[in-house]
Structure 1
Amino acid sequence: MHSKPGHAWGLEELAKETAMSRTTFAVRFKEAAGVSPLDYLTTWRMRLAKRALRDDDIAVSELARSLGYTSESAFSTAFKRRTGSAPNRYRSTIRSAVGFPDNS
């Protein structure tokens, strides 16, 4: 997940990567991480998105694709659900707070 956050990961493929059944993998992952594998993946993608929105001038549509979302809309919905803010608003707010120029 960490090396390929934009890959279309599914539980089956993640379990296969670890040579476990889906059920065993999901149970062990949740025991270790405290969340399901796909919830963890979404959280990881959102951390990467927040960093990119803060530090880079990447277009939201390009960021969405790089993180495995099929559309800017799907990414924006997931981002807003997790952060409470739309991606462009987050970018503007965070850059103002840390003194970055807003070039979006």
Structure 2
Amino acid sequence: MAATSAPRAESTLTDRYQTTVPDPVRKALGLSKRDKICYTIQPNGKVWISRVEQQESDPVLGKFLNFLTQDIEGNPQHIRAMSSDLASHVQSLTSGVDLDLDAPLVDEDE
């Protein structure tokens, strides 16, 4: 019986110690954009990579969102439509802003 080797994949570190997770690894772990990865370092120096399961969101953000929910439910009369002037002002502040959440960080961002 012939021995079969385990699937392998490689990636390269950039100057900033970043890498792209190879496609076979992403598929094996079921990774999507913005998912988190856990690295478990074994005593023998081997590293296991696994997908971090979604956990409770940021506890502070969760409490804030719960506060907003309770306030909206308790005081629906305070809800107002955003004025067209405010919408225009926000649009003028953000026009021309190009944001790519998948772009790598630049040195100034660290």
**Alignment TM class, shorter chain as reference:** under 0.3
Give the helix-richer structure, 1 or 2.
Answer: 1
Normalising by structure 1, what TM-score? 0.21
Normalising by structure 2, what TM-score? 0.20
Q: Which has the larger radius of gyration?
A: 2
Give the strand-richer structure, 1 or 2.
Answer: 2
Relative contact order higher in (CA < 8 Å, ≥ 6 apart): 1
